[in-house]
Amino acid sequence: MFLEIIVKPAVRKIAMERMQILIENAITNAKINPELSQRQAFLARRISSRHKIRMPYDLRMVFCKKCKSFIAPGINSRIRLGRASVKSIRISCYLCGHIYRKIIPQ
C-alpha cells in the first residue's frame, strides 16, 4: 500500500511523458515515415489504455473520433479555423471523412 502511493504518480508521470514524446514523433514522422508514425501513435494509445491515463486534448486530437486512426495534422487530416464569431476549429479525417468541431475557449 505504502509503496503504491509513492510509485503510482511517478509511473503515471513517466507514462504521460512517453505518450507526449510518441505523439510528437508520430507527427514529425507522418510525412517522411508514415509506417513508423502509425506505430508510434499506436504505442501512445496502448500506454494510455494500459495505465488508464486519459490523453490530454492536444494529444487526443490527432486521433479520429470515428475510425480511431492516427491522423497527422495537415497530412491525413485537415484543420480549418471557423469563420464564425465563436472561435472553433474543424478537423476532418481523410481516412473516413469524419468531421468534428472544437470550440476554442476565449
- Number of continuous H segments (helices) and E segments (strands) in the chain: 3, 3
66 binds Zn ion (CB under 5 A): yes
Give 16 or 23: the residue with its C-beta nearer to Zn ion: 23
DSSP secondary structure string, 23-36? Answer: HHHHHHHHHH-HHH
Write out the binding residues for Zn ion, residues 9-48 only, by CB under 5 A. Answer: none
Which residue(s) pair with 88 in the sheet?
103
Any contact of residue 78 with Zn ion (CB under 5 A)?
no
In the complex, what is the shortest distance from the CB of residue 91 to Zn ion, in angstroms, rounded to a whole number? 10
Note whether 98 binds Zn ion by CB under 5 A. yes
State the nearest-atom distance from the C-beta of 61 to Zn ion, in Å. 12
Of the candidate residues 67, 79, 81, 104, the single one contacting Zn ion (CB under 5 A): 67
- Continuous segment of H or E residues that includes residue 93: strand 88-93
Nearest CA to 17 among 6, 28, 7, 9? 9
* Contacting positions for Zn ion (CB under 5 A): 64, 66-67, 93, 95-96, 98
